Amino acid sequence: MDGLPSCALLCLTEAVASSSCSLLELDCICHNALLTTQLQTCGLQNCTVKDNLRSMRFLYDTCDYPVVVDNKVFPAIIIAGIVLASVAVTLRISGRLIGSRLGLDDAVILLSMATAIAISIIGLIYIRLGLGKDIWFVPFADITKIFHLYYFEEILYVASIALTKISMLLLLLRLFPDENFRRATYIVLAFTICWGLGIFLANSFSCQPISYFWHMWDGEHEGKCIEHAHLLWAHAIINILLDVVIIGLPLSTLIRLNLSWAKKIGICSMFAIGIVVTIVSILRFTSSLSFDMLDNPTKNFVSIGIWSLVEVYLAIISVSMPGVCAFFNYTSARCSSKKSSAAYGGGRSSSRRSPGASNAHGNGTIPTPREVTSGTFQSANREQGEFIRLQEIDSFRT
């Protein structure tokens, strides 16, 4: 029994005395479920946190219990998610640079992307420190580091989610000049900014002193914290409700467009892709209902961490989808117009063209943002570039 803390040895002696095993019968002790349960309960009541973890490590090593490390899916999600989100944002920005100009919504999504990159880096460090292992297999110093990183990851997570929603609302303001729609969008935007700032500050100052957040696990430091589960639930519930509101905002306006139902469904589906993000938010919320930061956290962080990563990446991708569609529409239109120009020039003499026969859109390029066709909105401010056209998202040719 060398290496077993004295408090745990006392618990073991008491538990064995009331069982059919003896201290020398390790196989009997290890496979007596009632005895090991009594031993763990006694350790929680009489040992320090660190001694209890030493006891659990001793029990697993001595009894040769199977050790399961859950660290395969987490890095795969990080790598796949950050690559896909980066591609989506790059195409969005490229499409905007080709078709019109960058706006505030683009700047905000770049900020959200920066927070997603930071979250991804933290996630990879998690794996190196021991995320996915039972906490009694992780060195004490690394446990503190994991909690420290988790503190920053939670702050970055709520910031990224709020920024993504703000970017979407700013995009809607660039798309729709209707005053009633814009008034409603501004109200939702103001609420989202206040909610994002509030939950950011609540997570940042959830513990007093702040350092108690990453030291509270060992039971050796003094401090107090807001119940972490309450913060998770409050954020999740408002987050889901905002998703529903933001998804619903443009749909009624889009349905009234002068388009075929097939195109209406296609465009509405593109805006409603955020429903997938909402489903992920709900799954993260259900995962958080049973989450306890102090109950084997290095193992339990994995589940809620995966849902958080998926939500962050999918949110960025879904908000970038209109810009991605714009990029492909612009590049496709330009390729088509070049082919048409080449075919026309090869089949007819340029001297036979009438003055009005030249491409109305200027040298075979796609229509400029100032040209408005059926199914779009017009505004007196369009020439100043305040609005972008819905054609920049999808082609409305009938």
Q: From first to last of the 398 residues of the chain, give the pLDDT tens digit.
A: 666 888 888 888 888 888 888 877 888 888 888 888 888 888 888 899 999 999 889 888 888 888 889 888 999 999 999 999 999 999 999 888 887 778 899 999 999 999 999 999 999 999 999 999 999 999 999 999 999 999 999 999 999 999 999 999 999 898 888 888 899 999 999 999 999 999 999 999 999 999 999 999 999 999 999 988 888 888 999 999 999 999 888 877 777 766 666 666 666 666 667 788 889 989 888 888 877 887 888 998 898 899 999 999 999 999 998 888 878 877 877 776 666 655 555 544 444 444 444 343 433 333 333 333 333 333 333 333 445 555 445 433 32
Q: Given this model, what pLDDT does residue 152 score?
A: 95
What CATH number belongs to 73-329? 1.20.1070
Put simply, whether the predicted model's pTM sits higher than 0.85 gets the answer no
pLDDT on residue 353 = 43
With vertex at residue 188, the alpha carbon angle to CA 319 and CA 116, rounded to the nearest 5 degrees, is: 35
Q: How is residue 274 written in tokens?
A: 């955020």
Contact 214, 196 (CB under 8 A): no
Domain positions in the chain: 6-63, 73-329
Q: What pLDDT, on the 0 to 100 scale, is given for residue 286?
A: 86
Radius of gyration of the chain, Cα coordinates, nearest whole angstrom: 29
pLDDT number for residue 338 = 65
pLDDT the model gives residue 386: 45
